[in-house]
Amino acid sequence: MASWVLTAMDLACQKAQRTLFEGVSFSVPAGSWLHIEGGNGCGKTSLLRILCGLSPAARGQVLWPSSSPSSSSSQTSLSRPDRSVLHYIGHALGLKPDLTACENLCADAQVSGLALGREQAVQALAAQGLQSRAHLPVRVLSQGQRQGVALARLRTSPARLWVLDEPLVGLDTQATATARALLQSHVDAGGAVVMTSHHDVGLQGPGARLHLGREVGRA
């Protein structure tokens, strides 16, 4: 198994004839995290979408460890990685408002080809402090509670890499601590986290910070 989960090579992004960033290169090893920083409009979300294969890069390449045992190369370039490899949570969260929190987790698992029982879904929500909200439609939940539902999906995801756009936004103090513990446990177990945040998430262990427009610095 490769010791790294993701490598970006010389990535560039342009919007409306304006260069948001260029020359962005980094590797994310297993058991580590990357915190992408920068001001509004610098391209943080655009970079995450490029990494996930949701938006094209103006230049550069994203490489993943090959999942094929017969492959002669240890790396491959995928336009959009399988959800068994990567789990992405963006600003929109991807929740269905008329489904309950529990039903959202089950539906999300089904998209990933997993069979998730309601009891397992409720347990994941309870771990986020949302057991009492498990059977309510997502549309009646607060922004922070919806964010918690989205994060609860990570607890049932098989993906080694989590790509998260502002994962702590809208969370209260207790929910923030719970989310940080979730991310830390994933890294400690050999997974990897790539995230944007305007706040110090406080993850420990091997990690790096990337300020768009600057070089990657080890934390």
Q: Cα(first)–Cα(last) distance of the chain, in Å?
A: 25
Query: Could you give the CA distance from residue 35 to residue 199 in angstroms, rounded to a whole number?
Result: 10
Q: The whole model's pTM is what?
A: 0.88
Same domain, 33 and 62: yes
Same domain, 2 and 76: yes
Same domain, 153 and 182: no
CA 158, 164, 168: angle at the middle one, nearest 5? 115
- 43 lies in some domain: yes
DSSP states of 14-34 as a string? EETTEEEEEEEEEEEETTEEE
Percent of the chain at pLDDT above 70? 88
Same domain, 21 and 79: yes
What are the start-end ranges of the H helices in 59-209?
Answer: 101-111, 118-127, 143-152, 173-188
- 102 lies in some domain: yes
CB 27 within 8 A of CB 63: no
- DSSP secondary-structure letter at 85? T
Same domain, 76 and 166: yes
CB 133 within 8 A of CB 142: no
- 91 lies in some domain: no
Residues 135-160, mean pLDDT to the nearest whole number: 96
Residues 170-174, mean pLDDT to the nearest whole number: 95
DSSP states of 31-53 as a string? TEEEEEE--TTSSHHHHHHHHTT
The pLDDT of residue 74 is 47
What residue numbers bound the domain in which 60 lies? Answer: 1-85+159-219
**Predicted confidence (pLDDT) per residue in 80-136, tens digit:** 667 778 999 999 999 999 999 999 999 989 887 888 999 999 999 999 999 999 999
Same domain, 7 and 80: yes
Instruction: Put residue 185 in one of left, alpha, beta given phi > 0 → left and psi -120 to 50 → alpha.
Output: alpha
Joined tokens for residue 109 = 């698992």
Joined tokens for residue 105 = 């987790």
Question: What is the count of structural domains for the chain?
Answer: 2
* Residue 199 banded pLDDT, cuts 50, 70, 90: confident
- 132 lies in some domain: yes
